[in-house]
Structure 1
Amino acid sequence: MSSQEVWLESTIGGFTATGRLHTLSVWFILALRLMMGLAFLQSGVDKVLSGSFGAAGYLQNAPPANGSPVADLFVAMGETPWFVDFVDVAVPWGEVLIGLGLLFGVLTRLAAFWGAFMMLLFYLGNWEIGHGYINGDFAYMLVFLAVAAFGAGRILGLDAYIEAYEIDGRPLVERYPWTRYFLG
């Protein structure tokens, strides 16, 4: 491994941001991935094992009670039986799968995307802005996005092996570049 400095640079809308990574950065990125993986796995397993998770009451009551700007959308979802049936399965099992994906570093970007999406919905549904617009749900959403952006599944994760798997003598991600959206 090289001891050269690693710099990041990104330009969006004409603005460029640059920064140098610290040698400990890799460990903090791994820690974020594992923390979110464990949190989601534990939350999902608790819901699956209890067998009592139900979204209808929450969707119909919590967002209007807390003043969510999208309360009407949540109420409509909560009054749609097929959607409630879907959410009753998707939330607990989604949390389990996201947690496993992050813990093992497999399909990490896909898992982190869905984790960020769920946290966005939790942020809007749990609308608590008494102390400002930034709360735990919003912060977790950003952690998921950071995990995806840094390709955290390549750090002691299975994504590094999956990406390097050769098909006809070429690594998977070279042969199928679209897999970079799911792995890493």
Structure 2
Amino acid sequence: MATDTSNFRTEANVFESDLAGITVRGKAHDLSAWFVVALRLMMGYAFLHAGWTKITAAEPFDAGGYLTNVTAASPLSGLFHWMGQTGWFVEFVNLAVPWGELLIGMALLVGVVTRLAAFFGAFMMLLFYFGNWEVQHGLVNGDLAYMLVFLAVAAFGAGRLVGLDAIIEKYETGGEKLVERYPKLRYLLG
């Protein structure tokens, strides 16, 4: 996928992308940046709260019951049942879910390593989508919608908007911007 950035300097709020021979071009409203920030903050708060309540709950978080009780209709039910019956994996999930939610939430709230956080948030929502499989009302549900919000946060570089990623990307080391010296950081920041 190639993205044409030549018009960014001459036209404000214009974006364009080619994918599989199809070009999409649009002009965003001036307030669009604030909506992207709002999405980042909303998802950050939601995940921070979800993780914090699991970590501080009176009873320790236990994903075993959830994993073993996924409906057989889910395309990944076999995988979920294996995960729920594999002791070391349940222990891993018992740590990964609450702490992952907390860390993703914190990263999004301050806008640091935003793309990395959004990727893992989208991955978790994809797993929740298949784990909470109910398609009586269609394939679209809240888990899928949240996954797409995470992907939008990553795609729009929401950490560069009122976030620490903007500061980190401008940081100079050895007379060169950090992201110019280490271009792969762009996959994590933004």
Q: How high is the TM-score relative to the length of structure 1?
A: 0.95
Q: RMSD value over aligned CA atoms?
A: 1.3
Structure 1 residue 120: Cα displacement: 0.1
Q: Which runs of 5+ in 2 are unaligned?
A: 1-8
Structure 1 residue 52: Cα displacement: 2.4
The 2-side partners of 1:47 and 1:20 are apart by 41
Paired residue for 2:146?
140
Q: Deviations over 1:120-146 (max 9, x none)?
A: 000000002111100000000000000
Paired residue for 2:104?
98
- Residue 185 of structure 2 corresponds to residue 160 of structure 1: no
Paired residue for 2:54?
47
Relative contact order higher in (CA < 8 Å, ≥ 6 apart)? 1
Structure 1 residue 107: Cα displacement: 0.5
* Alignment-mate amino acid for residue 83 of structure 2: M
* Alignment-mate amino acid for residue 44 of structure 1: G
Among 164, 176, 182, the alignment partner of 2:182 is 176
Structure 1 residue 4: Cα displacement: 4.4
The 2-side partners of 1:8 and 1:151 are apart by 13
Q: Determine which structure has the larger helix proportion and give its number.
A: 1
The percent of aligned pairs where both chains have the same amino acid is 62
Say whether the 8 Å CA contact 1:63–1:70 is kept in structure 2: no
* Alignment-mate amino acid for residue 49 of structure 1: T
Q: Which runs of 5+ in 1 are unaligned?
A: none
- Residue 115 of structure 2 corresponds to residue 109 of structure 1: yes
- Residue 65 of structure 2 corresponds to residue 57 of structure 1: yes
The 1-side partners of 2:62 and 2:137 are apart by 29
Paired residue for 1:34?
41
The 2-side partners of 1:114 and 1:121 are apart by 11
Paired residue for 2:87?
81
Q: Deviations over 1:29-55 (max 9, x none)?
A: 000000000000000000000142111
Structure 1 residue 6: Cα displacement: 2.1
The 1-side partners of 2:148 and 2:55 are apart by 26
Say whether the 8 Å CA contact 1:56–1:79 is kept in structure 2: yes
Structure 1 residue 69: Cα displacement: 1.2
* Alignment-mate amino acid for residue 13 of structure 2: V
Structure 1 residue 3: Cα displacement: 9.7
Say whether the 8 Å CA contact 1:108–1:153 is kept in structure 2: yes
Q: Deviations over 1:78-114 (max 9, x none)?
A: 1111111000000000000000000000000000000
Q: Comparing 115-124 with 127-136, which one deviates more in the overlay?
A: 127-136
Q: How high is the TM-score relative to the length of structure 2?
A: 0.92
- Residue 28 of structure 2 corresponds to residue 21 of structure 1: yes
The 2-side partners of 1:6 and 1:58 are apart by 44
